Copies of this chain bind each other. A is one copy, B any other.
């Protein structure tokens, strides 16, 4: 179904990727599709509908790349694949990714992602009563990390303070002072994400062993 709506959403995604979310304008999208701004309205409703469509498109990409549950994968491997795909998508589409926290999505693809995590948590042995909560904990962290990294919430800040190391008056930012040596190191973001996923898996196992 390469219908018009899909074409419009892809154009919006491309503009967001290239020029940022602010550049996603009814006029700009229409222009890219080769049509008049008003021609978009039957397909996306309005500007909000367009943005909602973008997050749905993003979740569609996540579902498309997620491994099938039928495959012979451990729940850890399925969690890892889903999380790493989310991170990759956020890096590829940072503008659209930020919308994940701004525009709650209840589309079929959104529910499908949640269901994948439900399945994997059940396979891990998490008691059914705890699964919905652990799903929210898991997805919140994974999406939050991916968006933080892609949106620049990490990286600066600590690094900035590192520059003033030793120049800070005593007593302020004692944490940063104590960690100056480690804050000066370059961060391996791939390794950090893997370590976080390992910790998350550990936490999930703890929940599973509870019964």
Contact = CB atoms under 8 A, between A and B. Distances in A.
Nearest to A206: B202
A199 interface: yes
Interface of A: 69, 98, 100-102, 104-106, 110-112, 114-119, 122, 128-129, 131-133, 136-137, 140-141, 143-145, 147-148, 151-158, 160-161, 173-176, 178-179, 181-183, 187, 192, 195-196, 199, 202-203, 206-207
Interface of A is mostly: helix
The 10 closest A-B pairs by CB, nearest first: A118-B175, A144-B144, A115-B175, A104-B152, A140-B144, A119-B175, A104-B153, A115-B173, A106-B157, A141-B141
A126 to B, nearest CB: 11
B104 A101 contact: no
Contacts of A179: 118, 122, 128, 131-132
30 contacts: A98-B102, A101-B147, A101-B148, A104-B151, A104-B154, A104-B155, A106-B156, A111-B161, A115-B174, A116-B175, A118-B176, A118-B178, A119-B174, A119-B175, A122-B175, A122-B178, A128-B178, A131-B179, A132-B158, A132-B179, A133-B192, A136-B145, A136-B154, A136-B192, A141-B141, A143-B144, A144-B144, A199-B207, A202-B203, A202-B206
Given A101-B151, A122-B178, 12 more contacts: A101-B144, A104-B151, A106-B160, A110-B157, A112-B173, A122-B175, A128-B182, A132-B179, A133-B192, A137-B141, A137-B199, A202-B203
